[in-house]
Structures are given as C-alpha cells and as structure tokens.
Amino acid sequence: MNQLHNAFTLFLSLLVEAFPFLLLGVLLSSALLLFIDERKLILTLPKNPFLAALAGSLIGFLFPVCECGNVPVARRFLMQGLPTSAAIGFLLAAPTINPIVVWSTWVAFRDQPEIVVFRVLFSLTIAITIGCIFSVQKDPTHLLQPFLAQRVSMLLSQPKWPRSSSKHSNQDVPVLLQSGTFLLNKSGTPLRLEGMADATATLPSIGSREFYRRLNIFIENVVNELRELGGMLILGSAIAASLQVFVPREIVLNLGQGTISSIMAMMLLAGVVSICSTVDSFFALSFASTFTTSSLLAFLVFGPMIDIKSVGLMLSIFRPRMIVYLFALAAQLTFILTLCHSYFF
C-alpha cells in the first residue's frame, strides 16, 4: 500500500512538472498553426537536398510541435509541394529541435547540459542524413500513400512552384476547360484536387469579424491536443512511476549499467512508451540514476522520431514499407551515435 502511495506521488510529480510545458507547447503550436502562412514558408526553402533537409529540420523552431502535432503539419507541407527530403527532415527533427523541448530538457538535466547539446546534435544529424537518403529517390510517389502520391506527382509535373500564380489565372477559366484531377463533391460540383489540399490547409484570412471564428478554432485545437497529449502523458507517467517503484532495483541496475544493453533497453522503452517530446525528458530523468547517460540520450533522440503512436500517425502519410525504412534507419543511426557517445564521453 505504501509502495502504491509512493508510485502515485511519483506519478503526480511527473504530471505536475510536465503539464506547464505540455500546455506551452500546445498553445504555441496552435497559435503558429493559425498565423504562419505555410505556403510562403515552403517557397522560401532551398532546393538542394542537403540544405532542404537542414531547413526542414529547423522549421521546428517555428512550429514547436511534438510528434503528434507534426505529422498533420508534415502532411500539409507535402500536399503543398515541400520536397520529400525537407518533409522527412521536418518529421524527424521538429519534435526535438524546438524551443520548448530544448527548455524542458534543460530543466530536467540542468546539471548535465551536455545532454541538451547532444540531443539536438544527434537528432539533427539523423534527420538530415535520412532526409538526404530519401532525396535520392527522385519519384517520391512510391513511398507515399496513394492519395498523397497522386497529389505530389501532380505538383511535380507542373512547371515550377506554380500554385500562387496559376491559382489566380485559373479562376476565369470554366472548370471544364481546366487541366488537372477533379473529384465530384456531394452536390455534384467538380472539385479540383489541388484546391482540396489547400482547403484542408488554409484558414480564413485575418479580419475583425473573423476574430471569434479564429478564437473558436484556436481553442478547439488547443483542447484537442491537450486531451490527446495529456492522455498519453498520463499513461506514460504511470508506466515510468511503476517501473521506478515496482521493478526490483537489481534488474534495473543490471540492465542500465551495460553499455549496449542500456541503449537497447531505452530505445525499446522509447518506442513503446510514446510520451510526448516536450515532456519526455522528465520521464528520462526517472532513469537518470540507474541508466547510462548514453542510453538516456538514445531515449531522448529515438523516442520523438519513432514510437508506436507516431507510426500510427505516419501511416496517414507513408506506405508501410517506407515506415519500415524510416524505423530501421533511425534506430541504427541512434544506436551508432549513442554508442560513439558512450565511448568518447
């Protein structure tokens, strides 16, 4: 009973420490989702695969979203013609390379600032590497889900970043004379496929009457994300607290002190626990006294990229084969980098 009470206290402690960061992340991501024009942002990105992957990875600083929020954003990016390398860079790095995550990691590991530095460095390295690898595949349509693939191949066949110009010129031409793919909506009116993609992404322009509508959307989005991520956080914290209290210390120490076993164990845990990246450093902190620093890094780097929850979300973008590639590459690179860390530091 006493042990249960201890576990409950640990559970609450994790939640109370993490909640402010979760709320901050959700508020910022919802606000920026409404106020940043994604299409303009995409147009300013470089075309070189390496630079595009780098830029994609750094967009996380503008979109402080954790791994649940970034999949829908990446999906919209792809629909609007973001190069695959940049999209993959964004998908893998944005959950880690963003101000809230850096701050919460620093709060948790104030006395080991190197964890913050290596977390950012390793995530960036892995995201850029994988982004570059997939940029070799010139035709990304084999990797994407059919609907997205169709949309992307259409964008590729068009001359060059034509959206902003062609959209206006097309408005005078009757629908039947326009080229492109069309769908029929319920009322039987043809809908342009590109337009549909824009429709899911664009929000009404700012106007004084729009204020309440926007506020409504903002609140809905904040509440939705808070509910989903909060639920995940509760499950994750419950697991962390029970592992700390109920698993015999000898087992944890044996596993946590081996160089390779600790990294493998923490990567497995990261994959299963699916805790949001803005608060996963507090989760890792509960293992700080028993696990090696390199394995904590492995958790912090691998968790935001691939876990059960994000695989589920990524299925809305990629074909399963592509997710297997992503998983294998991210896992191997994390393992190699953190193993290097354990030998050199």
Partner 1 sequence: MTLFSKLQPARKLKFIWPGLDALAILAWGALLLRYWLNGQLKLLIHPNYFGLVLITSIILFLLGSLKGWLWFKQLRKQSIDSETVQHITLFPPGWGSSLLVITAIAGLFIPPTVFSSQVALQRGISESLPVTQIQAEAFRGTVKPEDRTLIEWIRTLNAYPEPDAYNGQKAKVTGFVVHSPILPKNYIFLSRFILTCCAVDAYPVGLPVKLEGDQKDYPPDIWLEVEAEMITETLAVDTQTMQKTPTQKRQLVLDAKSVKTIPTPADPYGYAQ
Which residue is associated with the tokens 């044996």? Answer: 254
| Residue that has been written with the tokens 């845990």 in this structure | 269
**φ and ψ at residue 191, rounded to 5 degrees:** -115, 130
3-state helix, strand, coil in the chain (%, to 5): 75, 0, 25
288, amino acid identity: A
Q: How far apart are CA 248 and CA 325, in angstroms?
A: 36
Rounded CA Rg of the chain: 22
Q: Is 19 in the site for partner 1 (CB under 8 A)?
A: yes
Rounded-to-integer distance, Cα 128 and Cα 216, Å: 37
Binding mask 182-201 for partner 1 (x = CB under 8 A): ------------------xx
Residue with Cβ nearer partner 1 (13 or 48): 13
Residue 23 near partner 1 by CB under 8 A: yes
Q: Pick the stretch among 52-60, 85-93, 181-189, 284-292 that binds partner 1 (CB under 8 A).
A: 284-292
Q: Indicate the residue among 169 and 289 with the shorter CB distance to partner 1.
A: 289
Min separation Cβ 309 and partner 1, Å: 6
Q: Residue 128 or 225: which CB sits closer to partner 1?
A: 225
Structure tokens at 167: 């959209």
Q: How far is the CB of 3 from partner 1 (least distance, A)?
A: 8
Paired tokens of 1: 């009973």
> To which H or E segment does residue 1 belong?
none
Region 107-136 residues binding partner 1, contact defined as CB under 8 A: 107-108, 110-112
Q: Dihedral (C-alpha) 182, 322, 38, 202: value to the nearest 10 degrees?
A: 40
Comparison of 51 and 62: residue with beta carbon closer to partner 1: 62
Burial class (CB in 10 A: 0-12, 13-18, 19+), 287: buried
Restricting to residues 216-245, name those near partner 1 by CB under 8 A: 216-217, 219-228, 230-232, 234-235, 240-241, 244-245
d(C-alpha 217, C-alpha 211), whole Å: 10
Asked if 316 interacts with partner 1 (CB under 8 A), we say yes
125 or 202, CB closer to partner 1? 202
Q: Which of residues 45-74 bind partner 1 (CB under 8 A)?
A: 68, 71-72
Q: Which residues bind partner 1 (CB under 8 A)?
A: 2-3, 5-6, 8-10, 12-17, 19-20, 23, 27, 30, 33-34, 68, 71-72, 75-76, 107-108, 110-112, 200-201, 203, 215-217, 219-228, 230-232, 234-235, 240-241, 244-245, 249, 282, 285-286, 288-290, 309, 312-313, 316
